[in-house]
Amino acid sequence: MSFTQQSIDFLFENRLHDSREWFGEHKQDYQRLVVEPMTALIEELAPTITKIDPLIEINPKRISRIYRDMRLHPDSIFRDHIWYTFSRVREQFQALPGFYFSVGAGGISYGCGYYCASAKSMQALRGLILAGDDSFKAAFSAVNRQKTFELYGDLYKRSKFPEQPPEIRDWLDRKSFGLSFDTNDPAIMFSDSLAKRVAGDFKKIAPFYDFCMKAESTAK
């Protein structure tokens, strides 16, 4: 089962209506057009993810809710996208790195990294980078070899490591950290081989995930 243009149209229209009544009347469409293909994708990606890290939990019930948190967004009810994060079970308030896939009114996005890395995590990551740790070398090489993902994370306005080469500062000077790929290309989004493509891309950046997890093991 694949995403279709109807999947994207539903997410757009639901956000446009922003109505519990409208959503209730079309909940079966949401399940069929959005939740079921997302669940199928998760299950197809599971073997690849568990090979990368056997401790990552695979549970489609953890697909994000389409409802917004009304405490943070009192003026709207629904998101225009949903996502799933492949990560180890998180302790409360602990931001662990993971792989993610998102589908929304604007297209799809997938990648690896932190939603919002803690200061301790970033300190540990920078420590490994500055030490020339093998995990960083492997991650740096893997990222440079591929052409799909780009580094994300806000940069400090002024570099804290002006003595480092620009390509290293691009990693050191980020407030959070990750790799992402975004597209609204129908040939990719609605392909029957989407899961195969995503799995192959995740394999390419597995060293980046390993680097992040090594940092988590040393973060204090």
Per-residue confidence band for 220, with pLDDT thresholds at 50, 70 and 90: low
What is the Cβ-side half-sphere exposure of residue 75, based on CA atoms within 13 angstroms? 0
Residue 68 has pLDDT above 90, yes or no: no
Instruction: Using alpha carbons, list the distances in angstroms from residue 1 to 29, 59, 91, 127, 128.
Output: 14, 18, 33, 44, 41
Overall average pLDDT of the 34-52 stretch: 98
Q: How far apart are CA 195 and CA 176, in angstroms?
A: 27
Q: How far apart are CA 17 and CA 32, in angstroms?
A: 19
- How high is the pLDDT of residue 89? 81
CATH number for the domain formed by residue range(s) 5-218: 3.30.930.20
Overall average pLDDT of the 189-201 stretch: 98
Q: 30 or 1: which carries more pLDDT confidence?
A: 30
pLDDT (tens digit, 9 = 90+) per residue, 23-39? 999 999 999 999 999 99
Average pLDDT, the chain: 93
* DSSP assignment string, 138-197: HHHHHHHH-SS-EEESPBPSS-S-TTS-HHHHHHHTBSS-EEEEEE--HHHHT-TTHHHH
User: Hey, where are the domains in the chain?
Assistant: 5-218
- How high is the pLDDT of residue 203? 98
Overall average pLDDT of the 192-207 stretch: 98
pLDDT (tens digit, 9 = 90+) per residue, 161-184? 999 999 999 999 999 999 999 999
- How high is the pLDDT of residue 95? 75
Residue 75 has pLDDT above 90, yes or no: no
Residue 91 has pLDDT above 60, yes or no: no
Q: How far apart are CA 172 and CA 128, in angstroms?
A: 10
Instruction: Using alpha carbons, list the distances in angstroms from residue 119 to 37, 86, 100, 125, 141.
Output: 36, 22, 21, 10, 25
Which helix H or strand E contains 18, and what residues bound it?
A: none
What is the percentage of the chain residues whose pLDDT exceeds 70?
95
Instruction: Using alpha carbons, list the distances in angstroms from residue 186 to 147, 189, 197.
Output: 19, 5, 14
Per-residue confidence band for 72, with pLDDT thresholds at 50, 70 and 90: low
Q: How far apart are CA 190 and CA 1, in angstroms?
A: 10
